[in-house]
Amino acid sequence: MAAANTTKTSWKLQEIVAHASNVSSLVLGQTSGRLLATGGEDCRVNIWAVNKPNCIMSLMGHNNPVESIQFNSSEEQVVAGSQSGSLRVWDLEAAKILRNLSGHKANVCSLDFHPFGDYVASGSMDTNIKLWDIRRKGCVFRYKGHTQAVRCLAFSPDGKWLSSASDDSTVKLWDLTAGKMITEFTAHTGPVNIVKFHPNEYLLASGSSDRTIKLWDLEKFKMIGSTEGETGPIRCIAFNPDGCCLYSGSQDCLRVYGWEPDRCFDVVPVSWGKVADLALCNNQLIGVSISQSVVSSHVVDLNRVKKSGSVIQSLVQDDKPLSEPPAKGATIRRNYERPLTTCSKQRVKQNSESERRSPEGERRSPSSEEERDEKESTAEIRNAEDYKEIFQPKSAISRTPPKKSEPFPAPLEDETFPVKPNSAIEITPIPDKHAPEILKIPAITTSTPISRVDPAIAPPTSRPLPAINPANRPVAGMKPAEPAVILASRNEPIGLNVADFLPPAKSNKQPALNDDDALTQIRKGHDTMRVMLSSRLKNLDTVRAVWSCGDMKTSLDSAISINDLSIVVDILNIINLKPSLWKLDLCTSILPQIEELLQSKYESYVQTGCTSLRLILKRFWPLISDTLTAPPSVGVDITREERHQKCKACYKQLKNLSNVVKNKAGQVGRHGSAFKELQLLMTPLD
């Protein structure tokens, strides 16, 4: 037939054994579509070139299974989050660990790099979203609002917004510079697994376990489209680079959607099972899927896929097909304003940037445990040839690894389906993590290409590996690692300058700063602190307005509801100066806040908490003790009953605080003596 010489629309590209245990996460490099990172239950992160059989690098350091991975936009760095809540950032070009970050209390479920600045966003099962400055090892924002695990994060193309998807069935949009939520989308009826921004327009797509994809207008903040017809949960979606359509990786098929009106342009059968991630390059779509320790990759030729025109869904009105979509470029939706210049390398030297400080102006140095973790975290090169080709090209001025080569060739329709060389990993016992010997990746063997038959016919033959960089020594010409400075993190957003999220101007060398530039650099930290203090003043004005028209209890409750410990500290510093203002009602509200203050890393917070607790114990413990030990009264005494309930609540909270005080009483220095005094005052509690 004439069709004998045509090529397939989709085909299997490769199948590799990626880890010695089950693969728990993976991600494709979105810029090149040629780089793959896999995370396993063996606590490793392996880096692969798509359609090449051997592992390029094996990244070690995590002590728990790797739950999420992400490349940065230049694909020079990779970040991985584990079940323990820790993050590690590796520099692939220098083959070394860059940062160890910790702060989440549960699994890290989602990650994303900022498109321009050196920032990473992480979402966790603890429901929190954190924004990290990876240059200084600090958490600069914490976004609170979700009630269940945060499954996906995505920065907007202009770097000003962050979108989050959660198991609580909501999609939230956050303003990075203002440090607050812009809006919340609640139309999904199941956990939301994926969110993607349109590459040009103010449009957001979200996929859910409710089997629908919904599209949201980010100017009017409303839903403008919803797809139906999926047979399972939506786990991965991708916009076409020109924004003309949306791809959805479904069970064993690829669906192509349009919107305004909702329609399905094409359904392409692909035998990839449950696809886990998608990437587009050279008008091809690459999809990868996981089956235990095996990772499979498939290719779809987008030249043979319908992206507009005919409607696949039976969407008809009065027996007439829906009208054609508006012509490309006819949209009235705004486009993102991107910077005019971009840089392939986004790292900025630490001494050229102003430092954001904590509310007390403190700087935290790495602990001995964190320094030990960095030493134990390694990046071992497993394939020197591929490593040099991808991460160390001759011209390092501009690079997008790996190089955008020709599209993957498609097999002919009448040919036996060829299978690319596989990478088989011999399963060897993994040494104990406390053993002194560095973990070694199992030996890698390859097999020759064979037809799709029983693999037992042609068993793999092993060959020696290229030389490995011993002991993870630095690559020639690599600068020694700078001493890490850990930025003390705040519990709440403090605001950042928009300039912090824009790329620096492209330049081969750092020019000498003139007076105006030097002044601008100095003022960066000042402007950030001014935003923080202005926000605090606004909140204090709100509390003061309540204070002037109500009682002390109402105003204190309003300060607590703002959920900012700095406001509570300011209020306590006022009422601590006048003990007569204290009432029993205040104790029930403030004791839980004192528990947080005593465990704060800020010295002034701890000092204020100790002062307030001391006043409460001296003024109210006799009343609490007498009320709880008094015999029951005869008859009905509502006032006495209310007082008894308040004293009972205070006693329970004081018992919790006594454990905190005992643990801190052994500290050396001024705080140690303050806690010892509190311990003596709390002795009657026992």
List the structure tokens of 310: 């005919």
Q: Hey, is 135 helix, strand or coil?
A: coil
The answer, yes or no, to whether residue 492 has pLDDT greater than 60, is no
Reported as type and span, the H/E element at residue 627 is: helix 603-629
Q: Distances in Å between the alpha carbon of 83 and those of 39, 105, 126, 440?
A: 12, 9, 11, 22
Q: What is the CA radius of gyration of the chain?
A: 29
The answer, yes or no, to whether residue 48 has pLDDT greater than 70, is yes
The answer, yes or no, to whether residue 547 has pLDDT greater than 80, is no
User: Measured between alpha carbons, how far is 254 from 271 in angstroms, rounded to an integer?
Assistant: 10
Q: Give pLDDT tens digits for 496-536.
A: 565 665 655 555 555 666 777 777 777 767 777 777 788 88
618 alpha-carbon distance from chain centroid: 46
* Cβ contact 22:41 at 8 Å: yes
Q: Hey, is 642 helix, strand or coil?
A: helix
* Main-chain phi, psi angles of 678, to 5 degrees: -65, -35
DSSP assignment, residue 659?
H
**Higher pLDDT residue, 322 or 299?**
299
**Higher pLDDT residue, 378 or 82?**
82
pLDDT (0 to 100) of residue 323: 40
- Cα–Cα nearest to 335, from 197, 154, 163: 197
Share of the chain above pLDDT 90, in %: 25
- Cα–Cα nearest to 64, from 46, 90, 40: 40
Q: Residue 592: CB partners within 8 Å, gap ≥ 6? A: 653
pLDDT (0 to 100) of residue 118: 86
- DSSP E strands in 385-521: the ranges are 418-419, 423-425, 444-446, 450-451
- Assign 373 a pLDDT band (cuts: 50, 70, 90): low
Q: Residue 658: CB partners within 8 Å, gap ≥ 6? A: 679, 682, 685, 686
User: Measured between alpha carbons, how far is 266 from 135 in angstroms, rounded to an integer?
Assistant: 44
pLDDT (0 to 100) of residue 342: 42
Q: Give pLDDT tens digits for 81-108.
A: 998 899 999 998 888 888 888 888 888 9
User: Measured between alpha carbons, how far is 31 from 523 in angstroms, rounded to an integer?
Assistant: 35
- Assign 307 a pLDDT band (cuts: 50, 70, 90): confident
pLDDT (0 to 100) of residue 257: 93
Q: Sign of dihedral through CA atoms 25, 29, 33, 36?
A: negative
In 10 A of CB 256, how many CB atoms?
24
* Main-chain phi, psi angles of 192, to 5 degrees: -95, 125
Q: Residue for token digits 């990786």? A: 249
How many helices (H) does the chain have, and how many strands (E)?
9, 35
pLDDT (0 to 100) of residue 536: 80
Min mean pLDDT across 266-270, 381-385, 432-436, 499-503 is at 432-436
* Main-chain phi, psi angles of 379, to 5 degrees: -125, 105
- Mean of pLDDT values over 681-685: 82
Reported as type and span, the H/E element at residue 289 is: strand 284-291
- Mean of pLDDT values over 174-187: 90
Q: Are strands 35-40 and 45-49 parallel, antiparallel or unpaired?
A: antiparallel
Reported as type and span, the H/E element at residue 671 is: helix 670-681
User: Measured between alpha carbons, how far is 444 from 439 in angstroms, rounded to an integer?
Assistant: 15
pLDDT (0 to 100) of residue 550: 66
- Full strand arrangement of the beta sheet holding 77-82: 66-71, 77-82, 86-91, 96-102
User: Measured between alpha carbons, how far is 157 from 178 in angstroms, rounded to an integer?
Assistant: 17
Residues of the chain with CATH 2.130.10.10: 10-301
Q: Sign of dihedral through CA atoms 149, 68, 398, 136?
A: positive
Q: Give pLDDT tens digits for 571-617.
A: 888 888 877 778 787 888 888 888 888 888 888 888 888 888 888 88
Q: Residue 625: CB partners within 8 Å, gap ≥ 6? A: 684
DSSP assignment, residue 150?
E
In CATH terms, the fold of domain 10-301 is: Methylamine Dehydrogenase; Chain H (2.130.10)
- The secondary structure of the chain in percent helix, strand, coil, rounded to multiples of 5, reads 25, 30, 45
* Cβ contact 33:279 at 8 Å: yes
List the structure tokens of 429: 């016992």
User: Measured between alpha carbons, how far is 360 from 471 in angstroms, rounded to an integer?
Assistant: 41
- DSSP E strands in 335-427: the ranges are 378-381, 418-419, 423-425
AA identity, residue 283: N
Q: Hey, is 127 helix, strand or coil?
A: coil
What pTM was computed for the model? 0.58
**Higher pLDDT residue, 109 or 536?**
109
